Homo-oligomer: A and B are copies of this chain.
Amino acid sequence: MIKHFNSEEIMAADSFFRRNLINCLSGFKSLNLIGTQDGEGKTNLAPFSQVFHIGANPPMVGILFRPTTVIRHTLDNILNTGVFTLNHVTSKFYQESHWASAKWETSEFEATGIVPEYLNGFKAPFVKESPVRLACSLLETQTLKVNQTILMIGSIDSIYIEEIGLRKDGSLDLNALDTVTVSGLDEYHVGKKLGRLSYAKPQTKPEEI
């Protein structure tokens, strides 16, 4: 059976119901902990599901921040210091990662027990337990006219990867790395591989590689 919501029904729905539903519609989302520091060196750590690929040459990521109607430490810290880290979350600490989204007075590292690490003099803290860690710098921000969401673009300056998950062709085995994905606002999953497929050409159906 198929459930249909038209435009009026979507807008007439309970706001909690609508928020859950719309947040799930795009499908599985990436999950990264963003590590930052403020001007006084106080650390901050926050889970984000809106990090995506912008380009490989040069390497860049994009991050969406909801409208700044409340205090956004992560965004403020990046605008102030110009740097941040991205850290994959694994099944071993996805609960602590979720907890980092609470409104803490202290640093989320101290509060949740997630361990910070500093690498090669980079000013923002990495997550010690994370199997994929990126050092990034602010390139630009744009505000979306439609709803004041902020799109931030960052350059990827340095990459740290657990070798067990790095294949010879450069691709990552996210299952070996135990990388977690999120759906909606609060549901966490690991991946169960279906297959890797050959480059798509009209003549023959793609095959597993």
Task: Give the number of copies in the complex.
Answer: 2
Which A76-132 residues have a C-beta within 8 angstroms of B? 86, 88, 91, 94-96, 98-105, 111, 120, 132
Is the beta-carbon distance between A170 and B21 smaller than 8 angstroms? yes
Count A interface residues, CB 8 Å: 114
State whether the Cβ of A69 lies closer than 8 Å to any Cβ in chain B: no
Q: Are B95 and A206 in contact (CB under 8 A)?
A: yes
**Chain B neighbourhood of A70, CB < 8 A:** none
- Within the complex, what minimum Cβ distance (angstroms) separates A70 from chain B? 15
Is A20's CB within 8 Å of the partner chain B? yes
The answer to whether A181 and B184 touch across the interface, beta carbons within 8 angstroms, is: no
Complex Cα distance A43/B75, Å? 41
Decide: B102 and A202 in contact? CB cutoff 8 A. Answer: yes
